[in-house]
Chains A and B, each alone.
Chain A
Amino acid sequence: MEVCNCIEPQWPADELLMKYQYISDFFIAIAYFSIPLELIYFVKKSAVFPYRWVLVQFGAFIVLCGATHLINLWTFTTHSRTVALVMTTAKVLTAVVSCATALMLVHIIPDLLSVKTRELFLKNKAAELDREMGLIRTQEETGRHVRMLTHEIRSTLDRHTILKTTLVELGRTLALEECALWMPTRTGLELQLSYTLRQQHPVEYTVPIQLPVINQVFGTSRAVKISPNSPVARLRPVSGKYMLGEVVAVRVPLLHLSNFQINDWPELSTKRYALMVLMLPSDSARQWHVHELELVEVVADQVAVALSHAAILEESMRARDLLMEQNVALDLARREAETAIRARNDFLAVMNHEMRTPMHAIIALSSLLQETELTPEQRLMVETILKSSNLLATLMNDVLDLSRLEDGSLQLELGTFNLHNLFREVLNLIKPIAVVKKLPITLNLAPDLPEFVVGDEKRLMQIILNIVGNAVKFSKQGSISVTALVTKSDTRAPDFFVVPTGSHFYLRVKVKDLGAGINPQDIPKLFTKFAQTQSLATRSSGGSGLGLAISKRFVNLMEGNIWIESDGLGKGCTAIFDVKLGISNESKQSCIPKIPANPRHANFSGLKVLVMDENGVSRMVTKGLLVHLGCEVTTVSSSEECLRVVCHEHKVVFMDVCMPGVENYQTALRIHEKFTKRHQRPLLVALTGNTDKSTKEKCMSFGLDGVLLKPVSLDNMRNVLSDLLEHRVLYEAM
């Protein structure tokens, strides 16, 4: 043992202490050797350990430390130099390795620490994801519940089933204790408990609608937590001390059909809500979760829609039932009407035949009787019989015709006929009566009136005969004028210009009389059947009052119009009708020699003319001329009278200027003065015996429009008038 410079005094080696040191060293060595073994074993076991060589280093370090302690065992007793050498080597190695390890650890420990933090971070993330997964799963489940509920609710259109199913399903999904639905009463002032989940027959329990808690729930579309003690939530008698579960209430809008507009979803303007109350089980300490509240709100909306669908369906079913009923009723009515018409037609047909046969017999035999030898009284009697039976026959025909017309079963018999002849024939038929009554009849046919037309000749004649006959019947004096012309379709204004379309044209016939006239108020009644506007005075004219009605029907069949104008009682009346006729394109066979062609043969019907002539005879002749041409002639015999009488209605004034002097010419000037507007002034024509130039010049200078040489022939006058009316001036007819 070397001498050392220890501070403490040396003590001799104690036996006991030596022993303990010896043992401790031994155990240390063992531990030091076993630790690396353990390390190796566990590292081998784990797959991941990044720092193997560190482990090796650490193992070496420990092994050497153990070796050192082991070798220490031999140093307690006296030992040889070899042992000391080994000991020294071991210690040196240990020192090197431990220093290296210490240095290494400086690098390694931060890494190891960071690994730990990353591990922690990942763990947190995993926990978060777990949470989110849980949420999603809950939501998905909620959605599934809603879909299922909706499906259940919408699978039926019956109101009760809908509501019951809602409650049941909600109760099941959310595991509710109680679920109730309060519906508003008819008055809207109370809510009535209509459906509950658990109670089979809910008591008729109502609460006023104006409770604050109810207003609160109705005020929002969300589910609202309410107190379990509120009147709507207290459905069962509270018994026991258990804590009532949380209660949630939500409004269910009750929509009407009228709320569904095409363009905007109803904005809950109905203000009619039902109340759904949901109660969690008491004593469960469960709370309403957000997703459950959402579920409840969605269900409430779905219920509202389902209810409205049910309501719509009810409405449409009701409407359909109603329509079916109406249909049935209409069908019945139609069949009845058909039966009635058929019965009437049968009756008419039978009666017609049955009535006509005896009628014919009576008429025929009476006619025959007339031919035989009879005393005057007998003859009178037979004539009366004949007249009456003819009247009766006409009446029957009329009635039959009218009923057939109304049916629409009357068809026009179209054929080609001569229109001009038709008019002449009618006039020939009427003339005898007219002559007896001293009523001059004039016929004016427009020059462009087609001669051969297609239509129902018989019926057209019937119409014209009826109208003209009426005119004759109801006139005591005056003249009757019949005018026929072609008119544009559908105009009521008299129109002398022709536009026939294609193969059809509209014939207008005007029958004007100056007879009794008709009160304008009675005009609409004229065309109704069996109505006759007659005073006692005209009662004698007979007739059934059907004439005009039948004529109107015929005119309508011919796609035309018929109307009557009258200025009042005593002022005569004009009957006008239009009918549609076809134009025949057969070659014209003129049965009557036509008037030698005068292409400008105009219509003078109704042309108002004034004739001034001092000579009575020539006045009369001129008037006769003009009347023959169809004009309406007024005669005066002096200038003063002429000026007094002349008015804007007179289209032409014929003035005789044969008298020497200029007074008559002055009249012309005065007429010019009287009518300042040119179109109102009548045309002035001078009638004179002189044809020399001076007369002509004189006339022109006094403003006369024309000069005529007396005496005027008919053709001359006609030409002159048409020239005059066309050109408004005439200085050639000399």
Chain B
Amino acid sequence: MDTLVAQLQRQLRDYTISLYHQGFLDDQFTELKKLQDECSPDFVAEVVSLFFEDCEKLISNMARALDQTGNVDFKLVGSSVHQLKGSSSSVGAKRVKGLCITFKECCDSQNFGGCVRCLQQVDIEYKSLKAKLQDLFNLEQQIVQAGGRIPQVDI
């Protein structure tokens, strides 16, 4: 007979594992989790939210740049992609990072269509990741409120 806490914990574990398996997150996210302790209990959440903000900003920049039809500043786009790649690799957003690499190549080869496509994909991707991570945090919240401890998930 499972208590609520145990149930929630199991749910959390499963969900986290699925995220890793589906390639949304990679080892870097694990590293981030390691940096969270009593001194900085919301470290991961803060980093992740900063990342998403960054994403938004960069994507809008890139969108604007790409909208200048005929006069696309690929350098600007390229640098934004570079930034995004860095951020995503720091956070462990695996899929986003992968997309960024492709995006970079398109920028380098000044492939307008490719860039646009990549941009769209990145947009979708980061939003979905954001949603998923939000779920994850909600689960954690619930566990804490139920009086339990957030379990350590070993991938």
Contact = CB atoms under 8 A, between A and B. Distances in A.
Physical interaction between A and B: yes
Contacts of B87: 615-618
Interface in A592-646: 614-618, 620-622, 624-625, 627-628
B31 A617 contact: no
A14 B35 CA distance: 193
Contact of A624 (B27, B43, B51): B43
A616 B90 CA distance: 10
B90 A711 contact: yes
A476 interface: no
Contacts of B91: 617, 621
Interface in B16-32: 27-28, 31-32
Interface stretch (A240-248, A395-403, A434-442, A509-517): A434-442
Given A614-B83, A711-B89, A620 B40 contact: no
B86 interface: yes
Q: How large is the interface on A (under 10, 10 to 19, 20 to 34, 35 or more residues)?
A: 20 to 34
B93 to A, nearest CB: 10
Contact of A689 (B41, B79, B85): B85
B101 to A, nearest CB: 10
Contacts of B85: 689
A214 B79 CA distance: 122
A710 B90 contact: yes
Contact of B90 (A621, A627, A714): A621
B82 interface: yes
Contacts of B37: 628
B125 interface: no
A617 B82 contact: no
Contacts of B54: 615-617
Contact of A618 (B38, B40, B46, B90): B90
A291 B102 CA distance: 139
Given A615-B86, A615-B87, A713 B31 contact: yes
Contact of B86 (A440, A479, A689): A689
B51 A617 contact: yes
A711 B31 contact: yes
Contacts of A616: 50, 54, 87
B47 interface: yes
Interface in A713-731: 713-714
A618 B34 contact: no
B34 A620 contact: no
Interface in B73-117: 79, 82-83, 85-87, 89-92
Contacts of A624: 32, 35, 40, 43, 47
Contacts of A614: 83
B39 interface: yes
B26 to A, nearest CB: 9
B35 A714 contact: yes
A672 interface: no
B31 A435 contact: no
Contacts of B50: 616-617, 620
A442 to B, nearest CB: 7
A616 B40 CA distance: 18
Contact of B82 (A440, A658, A711): A658
A621 B32 contact: yes
A587 B34 CA distance: 31
A440 B37 CA distance: 10
A349 B46 CA distance: 57
Given A616-B54, A620-B47, A689-B86, A711 B40 contact: no
B90 A435 contact: no
B90 A615 contact: yes
A710 B83 CA distance: 13
Nearest to A479: B39
B89 A710 contact: yes
A656 B28 CA distance: 18
Given A440-B40, A615-B90, A628-B34, A620 B82 contact: no
A659 B31 contact: no
A431 interface: yes
A658 B82 CA distance: 8
Interface string A318-354: 0000000000000000000000000000000000000
Interface of B: 27-28, 31-32, 34-35, 37-41, 43, 46-47, 50-51, 54, 79, 82-83, 85-87, 89-92
Please name the 10 residue pairs, one residue from A and one from B, whose CB atoms are nearest each other, closest first: A440-B39, A617-B87, A618-B90, A621-B90, A624-B35, A615-B86, A628-B35, A617-B51, A711-B28, A713-B31
15 contacts: A440-B38, A440-B40, A479-B39, A615-B54, A615-B86, A620-B46, A621-B47, A624-B32, A624-B40, A627-B39, A627-B40, A660-B82, A711-B89, A713-B27, A714-B34
Given A617-B91, A658-B86, 16 more contacts: A431-B38, A440-B39, A614-B83, A615-B86, A617-B51, A618-B87, A618-B90, A621-B91, A624-B32, A624-B35, A624-B40, A624-B47, A625-B31, A625-B35, A627-B40, A713-B28
